[in-house]
């Protein structure tokens, strides 16, 4: 291992080591100190965040081109570690309240973040598969963390079985891509295509299988069927973390593989991406309308937002705007993360034992009894719709602009129409909060209150400074290509 190799994966090395020590510490501590594991997990993530920040702007290859350290991966490392910190804040009080406060929760969360970090840096298809498994296996366990709750156990089993099935598609796609080009390196694939030695037909089939596997991870239609049941059955902080972290990691792999390494397949794959994006936006928003459980509603909302992010993939192969497509995708992932965590914080605050407080009707009267939480939830719902002045509006603005610049007017029209469709079920929450009488109960938790208030403020304030923020994201991806 050279010095460049070491520094390129230093955040990953540190976090893997920290999670392992934390796991052993929790086992061997004879006297449990309340909150110690959660605090140490947060310290580990803050340190990882600081290390990743020092590497920001540096672009280098490591381990013979299998790892790529650049602005793209550094940005995502910051997003993943930040999501982990919020995930810990949401989980701390919830786990104690539900009687599932077990020390292994936090090391599992850190291990999953390790997989996300590795996936963002993967420049080789084998590393992509290994990172996917490192990301997914802890989440399978976390989904069933509320054992012996049947819903949680069912969520874990469904996620595991379908995740393993999707992983098989990725492995087979990697094998066919290797057969087509003689390499699993993304730069090697580009070189093989450029030299004319690659079997384009076989590469197309292999990339299609990889797309199916990653489509499962980000919950694209028709690979989304696991999402509502898993999101509903898993502990709510796990659901919130999966909705942000796993989705961002899956799109990191999609962007790295297809936009950077396979533009030669644009002519064949652009129609596929167009259809996947349109179907996902339409189906996710349409099915969300009939949901009465807010966890299932937000699950279908998550599916719909995967469709919006997928819009940026449609312009790949158009060299002049590909970097804008990546930047708009990453910016939207940030807007979605802030909004999504904020919304889930309110859901966690209202959730009681045995699934109480998860119906939409349970939000009746929230505006009168708990005006601060209601105002925060109002901001998050408007951001999901894309109403100004919210961060969600700016995220959709940059996505739609990229699609229009690529010449896909009808896809942008579908995006606007489905956003209007989503207003129905998002505003149902608002109507229940402010226009119906009720007596909801909030579980007092300062960390959850902090996430709600800071999240709502960030959704509004960051929209004001969205232009410099988007420019910063754009600079982060310039050296990706």
Q: What is the pLDDT along the chain (481 residues), one digit of tens a residue?
A: 787 878 888 899 999 999 999 988 877 775 666 678 888 999 999 999 988 877 776 778 888 888 888 888 888 999 999 999 999 999 988 888 888 888 888 999 999 999 999 999 888 899 999 999 999 999 999 998 888 888 888 889 999 998 888 889 999 999 998 998 888 888 888 888 878 777 888 888 998 899 999 999 888 988 888 888 899 888 999 999 999 988 999 998 888 888 777 777 767 788 899 999 999 999 999 999 998 889 999 999 999 999 999 998 888 766 656 678 888 889 999 999 999 999 999 999 888 766 677 788 888 888 888 888 889 999 999 999 988 889 999 999 999 998 988 888 999 999 999 999 999 999 999 999 888 887 778 887 888 889 999 999 999 999 888 888 888 888 877 666 5
First to last CA, the chain: 25
3-state secondary structure of 128: helix
3-state secondary structure of 293: strand
Structure tokens at 328: 């708009």
3-state helix, strand, coil in the chain (%, to 5): 80, 0, 20
Tell me the CB-side half-sphere exposure of residue 466, using CA atoms within 13 A.
24
CB 300, CB 287: distance < 8 Å: yes
Beta-carbon neighbour count of residue 277 at 10 Å? 26
Determine if the pTM surpasses 0.85: yes
Distance separating alpha carbons of residues 477 and 481, to the nearest angstrom: 8
CB 217, CB 272: distance < 8 Å: no
Place of tokens 């930040």: 82
Place of tokens 């989440």: 139
Burial state string for 188-224 with b = 16 or more CB within 10 A and e = fewer than 16: bbbebbeeeebbeeebbbbbbbbbbbbbbbbbbbebb
pLDDT at residue number 456: 92
The residues that bridge with 62 in the sheet, in sequence order, are: 67
Distance separating alpha carbons of residues 85 and 50, to the nearest angstrom: 13
Distance separating alpha carbons of residues 301 and 298, to the nearest angstrom: 5
CB 399, CB 311: distance < 8 Å: yes
Burial state string for 450-466 with b = 16 or more CB within 10 A and e = fewer than 16: ebbbbbbebbeebbeeb
Distance separating alpha carbons of residues 369 and 371, to the nearest angstrom: 6
Distance separating alpha carbons of residues 169 and 437, to the nearest angstrom: 50
């Amino acid at each position: 291992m050279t010095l460049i190799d070491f520094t390129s994966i230093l955040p990953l090395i540190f976090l893997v080591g920290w999670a392992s020590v934390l796991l052993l510490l929790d086992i061997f501590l004879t006297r449990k100190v309340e909150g110690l594991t959660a605090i140490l997990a947060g310290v580990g993530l803050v340190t990882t965040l600081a290390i990743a920040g020092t590497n920001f702007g540096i672009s280098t290859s490591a381990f013979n081109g299998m790892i790529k350290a650049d602005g793209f991966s550094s940005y995502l490392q910051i997003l993943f570690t930040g999501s982990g910190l919020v995930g810990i804040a949401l989980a701390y009080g919830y786990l104690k309240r539900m009687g599932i406060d077990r020390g292994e929760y936090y090391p599992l969360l850190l291990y999953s973040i390790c997989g996300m970090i590795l996936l963002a840096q993967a420049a080789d298809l084998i590393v992509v598969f290994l990172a996917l498994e490192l990301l997914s296996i802890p989440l399978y366990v976390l989904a069933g963390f509320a054992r012996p709750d049947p819903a949680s156990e069912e969520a874990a089993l469904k996620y595991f079985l379908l995740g393993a099935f999707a992983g098989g598609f990725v492995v087979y796609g990697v094998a066919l891509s290797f057969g087509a080009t003689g390499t699993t390196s993304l730069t090697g694939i580009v070189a093989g295509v450029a030299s004319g030695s690659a079997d384009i037909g076989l590469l197309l089939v292999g990339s299609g299988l990889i797309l199916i596997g990653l489509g499962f991870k980000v919950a694209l239609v028709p690979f989304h069927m696991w999402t509502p049941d898993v999101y509903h059955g898993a502990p709510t902080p796990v659901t919130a973390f999966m909705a942000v972290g796993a989705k961002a990691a899956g799109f990191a792999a999609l962007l790295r593989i297809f936009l950077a390494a396979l533009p030669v397949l644009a002519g064949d794959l652009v129609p596929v991406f167009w259809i996947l994006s349109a179907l996902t936006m339409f189906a996710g928003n349409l099915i969300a309308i009939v949901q009465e459980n807010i966890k299932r509603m937000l699950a279908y909302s998550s599916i719909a937002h995967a469709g919006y992010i997928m819009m940026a993939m449609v312009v790949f192969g158009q060299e002049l705007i590909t970097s804008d497509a990546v930047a708009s995708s990453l910016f939207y992932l940030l807007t979605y993360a802030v909004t999504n965590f904020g919304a889930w914080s309110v859901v966690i605050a209202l959730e009681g034992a045995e699934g109480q407080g998860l119906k939409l009707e349970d939000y009746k009267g929230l505006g009168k009894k708990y005006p601060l939480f209601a105002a925060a939830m109002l901001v998050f719902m408007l951001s999901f719709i894309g109403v100004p002045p919210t961060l969600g509006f700016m995220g959709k603005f940059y996505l739609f602009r990229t699609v229009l610049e690529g010449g896909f007017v009808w896809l942008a029209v579908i995006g606007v129409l489905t956003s209007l469709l989503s207003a129905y079920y998002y505003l149902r929450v608002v109507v229940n909060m402010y226009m119906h009488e009720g007596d909801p109960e909030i579980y007092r938790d300062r960390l959850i209150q902090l996430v709600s208030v800071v999240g709502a403020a960030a959704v509004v304030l960051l929209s004001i400074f969205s232009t410099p923020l988007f420019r910063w994201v754009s600079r982060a991806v310039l050296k990706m290509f």
